[in-house]
Amino acid sequence: MPAPARSVTSDAAPPLPADDPAIFEMDLRGLRQHWAARTALPAISAETMTGADRRAQALGVPGVRLMEHAGTAVAAAVKALATDLGRWGTGPIVILCGPGNNGGDGYVAARRLALAGASVVVAVVAAEGRPSSQSSAKNWDRVARDSGIVKVHAPVARDVAMFGLGIDKAAVIVDALLGTGVRGALREPIREAVDVIGRGRAAGVPVVAIDTPTAVDLSSGEPSDPAVIADLTVTFHRPKTGLLTRRGARYAGKILVAPIGIPIEADRG
């Protein structure tokens, strides 16, 4: 049986995800209760979140550490969802990673899920096989050295389409393609990757989005074309205004808000 959430009071916040192994024994309800203080905070826009993230790093919180907490929270949520639906161990967890920090969160989730006993397949949907950002590159390097994780590089739409032929065999699909900053119609190969995720969901595979479903604006909730429809979105630090709009909520599905270690000083800057 999944472990219940520990009691959390206003003066006793739970440990951050990477320091909290108990989250991998919780079901979705337990995780929601465990991080309830995050969900209760006022919602913020994508721009405000970007500022808080930058100020946290300026205050000495390494970006790679923020990413570790984010990806670990995603991994725990994926395991909880798969277990709740009876899909844990029925197929691979397929993680589609884009070129930026959203993909970096996906690499952390891949590693943590593999440590939890999952079969994991990572598709790098980007022209380059190794990310350019420092935090994402570090986490890609750790995944690349893990012989237990299957890696596929899909730099063009045709490669993504070929990869997606067996997407219906996945236990869960994780959308780690794009976070904030999407404007207008999606370009390839990300567009094809979004279509692959859609085909998987249509075949009954649940989809977990990291921070926001790809191509859904975190500030307004408005989607680009096409956009991922998720069953569960794990967002970070505080709720996002876009995911709480009627349209954004339709794309986000259920929402978990996880702490990642942004200090109060950064949040108030």
Write down the pLDDT at residue 180: 76
Q: Tokens for 2?
A: 């999944």
What pLDDT is attached to residue 225? Answer: 86
Closest alpha carbon to 149 in 103, 93, 68? 93
Instruction: Please report the pLDDT score of residue 23 as a whole number.
Output: 98
Would strands 149-153 and 254-258 be described as parallel, antiparallel, or unpaired?
Answer: unpaired
| Cis preceding-peptide flag for 15 (omega within 30 of 0) | no
pLDDT value at position 206? 98
Distance, in Å, from the CA atom of 206 to the CA atom of 82, rounded to the nearest integer, reads: 8
Sign of the alpha-carbon torsion through 229, 231, 236, 241: positive
Q: Contact, 31 vs 77, CB < 8 A?
A: yes
CB 6 within 8 A of CB 14: yes
Has this prediction a pTM greater than 0.85? Answer: yes
Strand partners, 26: 3
Distances (CA, A) of 171 to 17, 43, 92, 207: 23, 31, 6, 9
| pLDDT computed for residue 181 by the predictor | 61
Whether the Cβ atoms of residue 208 and residue 13 lie closer than 8 Å to each other? no
User: How far, in Å, are 16, 69, 136, 238 from residue 61 at the CA level?
Assistant: 13, 12, 16, 17
Question: Over its length of 269 residues, how does the chain's per-residue pLDDT go in tens digits?
Answer: 555 544 444 457 899 999 999 999 999 999 999 999 999 999 999 999 999 999 999 999 999 999 999 999 999 999 999 999 999 999 999 999 999 999 999 999 999 999 999 999 999 999 999 998 999 999 999 999 999 999 999 999 999 999 999 999 999 999 999 987 677 789 999 999 999 999 999 999 999 999 999 999 999 999 998 999 999 999 999 999 999 999 999 999 999 999 999 998 998 75
- Cα(128)–Cα(132) distance, rounded to whole angstroms? 8
Task: Check: CB of residue 134 under 8 Å from CB of residue 64.
Answer: yes
